[in-house]
A and B are shown apart, each in its own frame.
Chain A
Amino acid sequence: MNSGHDVILKLEDISKVYAGTVAVKHADFEVRKGAVNVLVGENGAGKSTLMKIIAGVERPTAGRILLDGNEVSFSSSGDAVGRGIGMVFQELNLFGNLSVAENIFATRELTNALRKIDHKAQEHRAAEFLEQLEAGIRPDMLVEDLRIGQQQLVEIAKAVSLDARVLIMDEPTSALSAAEVEILFKVIADLKARGVAIVYISHRLEELIRIGDYITVLRDGRITGQEEMKNVDTQWIVRQMIGSDAKDFAKADGHQPGEEIFRAEEICLPRVTGGLAVDHVSLSVGAGEILGIYGLMGAGRSELFDCIMGRHGQASGRIFIDGKPVKERDTTRRIRRGLALIPEDRQREGLVSILSVASNLTLASLSRFVSLFHIRGGAEKQAVTQMVRELVIKVADPVQEVSSLSGGNQQKVVIGKALLTGPKVLLMDEPSRGIDVGAKADVFRTMRKLSRDGLGILFATSDLDEVMALSDRIAVMSNGKLTGMFNRAEATEAAIIAASALGHGPSPNTENNAHD
């Protein structure tokens, strides 16, 4: 690990503990000047936590941070910015109701002698940064009028405008088109030449290998490898990320999928900004079959599930359960027909956090416990107790508020809620996101058991391991289209990755200027 680049920032023995989980364990991490320091790891490995510690958003539970060799501690992100550390966040931190220029200079407004905001100067300066990004964004546009990709560019422009010495980019390309990615790489090269230390996080390995100088791999909160990029290849990265110890996937029990239970035909969902978020997707699932849907962020997996559940009035296409067409267009009646969704975002879409565990579990299936209009408390309680036992939900008393549970147990509550509706087809959107290893194993075991019981399961994931280990068949989505369908026997990681990248190259519908 010796080269011409000086270490500007050093983390020593950093740990971060949240209620219930350890996100980062004894991590040592070096950031070098004038270089792209890449950080990789699977979902939940602790990358974002580590970066938030550097950016002053979170404070480490233990360990030291050395900036230019001196120990520092950041009390806030403003503090970190003051010392030259900027960050492009994964989730966009922009004010949709303000203009691009106002966003770029938020909290550092340019003012004139009377402390009045100098909008002209701000827009002028903002235009310079946007020029570099060749994004075709005017500084006086409202952020909410921009496409997600353009918003991400604004976020990047904002970070660049900080004149930071250390710039952290957390998945900056997740919503960018191929052309926009090229521009970003030019900007990164430019920053590197000016001696800025860049920390770059991404899931796209080919991207990392192209622009990285140093690579650090995280797994389950631990750093498992640190190398110069020129010494490593994809296999090395994957090995470090996954480790030799295989994850605890429940084994397939060899039962054969039965007859087709669910079919979707020509599902389309128009995007607000033009184009299709889901582009003529057709697929089918057999009873007792697990169909994994793999794709990168923004591939249209969640949108496909939303269409199937009837959450979008403007979606088109046909769905069939047991060969019979589902004409019902609203979620309520589709649930009655045997569809159930476990949404990706537990907090926002899965749970009513101020209600009890019991109320959440039975929310979607109350009609089962009702005579006339009276909820039979006994029957409800019995169902809750049974579900808590079946899914091994760790809760002292089901009348506890659901928000007091750990992430894994909350996820089990969401699954239990869906199962109580007695579904024939279960749609699971990233069922293992943000939960600990033990809970993951439980969730996977439950999926196996359900498929044995004859449910058709569609599960969306961006975790390659997961999709390989759990699926009977693997569908790959990219850019709203179904780009591959593999039987497990014939599926290879390379083929799946290739299919998931289709349509990400320069193509007519990902032009920058779609807006103009």
Chain B
Amino acid sequence: MTDVSARAPDSSASGGSVLLTLMKLRTFIALIAVLVVFSIAAPNFLSAANLILMAKHVALNAFLAMGMTFVIITGGIDLSVGSIVGLCGMVAGYLVLNGIDLQVGYTVYFNVVEIAFITLAVGIVIGAVNGLLITRLNVAPFIATLGTLYVARGLALLSSDGRTFPNLVGKPELGTTGFGYLGAGKLLGLPVSIWILVVVALGAAYLARFTPLGRHIFAVGGNERAARISGVRVNMVKMFVYMFSGFCAAIVGLIISSELMASHPATGESFELNAIAAAVLGGTSMSGGRGTIGGTIVGAFVIGILSDGLVMMGVSSFWQMVIKGLVIIVAVVVDQAQRRLQSRVTLMQMAKVG
């Protein structure tokens, strides 16, 4: 990589644009590189079963990373997603096992679809709390979401006194069976969670590219004051991105509980960092205004495949962390080099035009 940055200044205009294209595609190149390396180094890596298993792992991080991408594009950060995953898993588990006791001798049990919607609503509400703290009370996003990180984790632990809700099969007479479908079910040969990822990702990518809200998200991150003067409802945009992030985290909470058929209150610890890493690897700028859903998904795959592949190769988990960290740093260094090269190429083009 040092080689690239050292060569960049001398490259001619055409060489510059070739290099620029390569740099723009860097996450894809990294993805192909990890695929090629592991398919050679790790036996069975390319088997269909293994690819699907990896995709399921990646999907969890990809959900969080998508929500994180929008938040980061507006210039914020959401540290609370890992805790929302944990809390939403506990909410789902609690509802399956216990229902809601109305305190008057009745207990209401919900069917699985209702439970899923309630859980998603919980995620969205926590996101809304983040949004309100940030827009109405002017708390810095880092601090606001750090606060909700602790609160949500604490609530998750309180909900069961720190115990796991085991065996979420439900009872047929209460209509609470079928919770395992999300995590274990298959549709047309692919796991349900992958299908959900495809749907949410396409929706998010569409939102980013073809809706006013998407455009406003980028405008707020690029220049909040200018956006405000142009009539963008900045506070609404921010509310949306944190609520969407909470929504994504709730999906992950549901899927994990469903896969394990159990809810553990510590689920999701440090997931937020993986999500940030995937977003940054996919080209999202921490200073706001830049990023794509597609890039983030590819970033999530690079990180996920990297860690699964290293496990398959038998690399120690300590080394895995070192490697993951280096990959992230290199990605950002290349990103900066690309920016510089880009502006040079633009200037050169302007000079050519006159």
Contacts and interface: CB of A to CB of B under 8 A. Distances in A.
Q: Do A and B bind each other?
A: yes
A353 B222 CA distance: 7
A352 B231 contact: no
A417 B232 CA distance: 13
A332 interface: yes
B229 A343 contact: yes
B302 interface: no
Nearest to A406: B350
A19 interface: yes
Contacts of B227: 352, 363
Interface size, B (range):
20 to 34
A490 B32 CA distance: 75
Q: Is the interface of B mostly helix, strand, loop or mixed?
A: helix
Contacts of B218: 352, 355, 359
B210 A364 contact: no
A367 interface: yes
A348 B229 CA distance: 11
B3 to A, nearest CB: 28
A348 B225 contact: yes
Interface in B296-353: 346-347, 349-350, 353
The interface centre, meaning the residue of B218, B225, B227, B231 with most chain A CB atoms within 10 A of its CB, is B231
B210 A396 contact: no
Given A352-B218, A404-B346, A332 B212 contact: no
Which of A331, A353, A377 lies at the interface centre, i.e. has the most chain B CB atoms within 10 A of its CB? Answer: A331
Nearest to B235: A330
A255 interface: no
B212 A375 contact: yes
Given A348-B223, A359-B218, A309 B229 contact: yes
A402 to B, nearest CB: 10
Interface string B208-239: 00111101101100110111111111000000
A437 B213 CA distance: 38
A375 B212 CA distance: 7
A364 B228 contact: no
Given A366-B215, A373-B211, A375-B210, A352 B229 contact: no
A332 B222 contact: no
A375 B346 CA distance: 28
Nearest to B342: A401
The 6 residue pairs across chains A and B that have the minimum distance between CB atoms = A352-B222, A364-B230, A335-B231, A366-B212, A332-B231, A352-B223
Interface of B: 210-213, 215-216, 218-219, 222-223, 225-233, 289-290, 346-347, 349-350, 353
Interface of A: 19, 309, 311, 330-332, 335-336, 341, 343, 348-355, 359, 363-364, 366-367, 370, 373-375, 377, 396, 400-401, 404, 417, 421
